Structure 1
């Protein structure tokens, strides 16, 4: 079991979660982060740090977000690790809470 970054991260890319991860399991894409499920140790530290509540336990992910389990696994093999906090995307606050952002994902 691992944690999964869901749709809420798209176009925001807050990186508060990266700072607290003890195993560096986050990967950075153009407009969101993902978690490498092979690296995640289920410590839960990142969950509370995400200001848009984008990180969800794989076992508790809502039905409409199930595709993000595969997406995190796939993209974590393509995107580079992110080990230090960075500024969010410039318009992150405008995108926070906006639904239906999956089509805006940049792979």
Structure 2
């Protein structure tokens, strides 16, 4: 079972999770991170590091976020790996608690 980045990451892109990942399974897009389900080893380290609680075990993804399982899989195949922590997006604080952000995902 892989872990999945969900909507809360959009327009924030905190990368605390990337720093603890032992297998570099995170991929970086313009305003979102994706986890490669084929590379994820289910270690759970990333979950506690996400300040906006955007990462879930695949079996625990909320029902309204299930489409992010496919989104992570698809985007991880085309986005580059990110293996080191970076600063979040400049306006991350404005977006950290916003819901309903799927339309803002930049692919």
Q: TM-score scaled by structure 1?
A: 0.99
Cα distance in 2, alignment partners of residues 35 and 60 from structure 1: 15
Cα distance in 2, alignment partners of residues 68 and 97 from structure 1: 18
Task: Give the match for residue 52 of structure 2.
Answer: 52
- Aligned pair count? 107
Runs of 4+ in 1 over 2 A off after TM superposition: none
Cα distance in 1, alignment partners of residues 101 and 51 from structure 2: 17
Cα distance in 2, alignment partners of residues 43 and 97 from structure 1: 26
Cα distance in 1, alignment partners of residues 49 and 72 from structure 2: 18
CA deviations on 1:24-52 (whole Å, 9 max, x unpaired) are 00000000100000000000000000000
Which sections of structure 1, spanning at least 5 residues, go unmatched? none
Cα distance in 2, alignment partners of residues 17 and 84 from structure 1: 9
Task: Give the match for residue 30 of structure 1.
Answer: 30
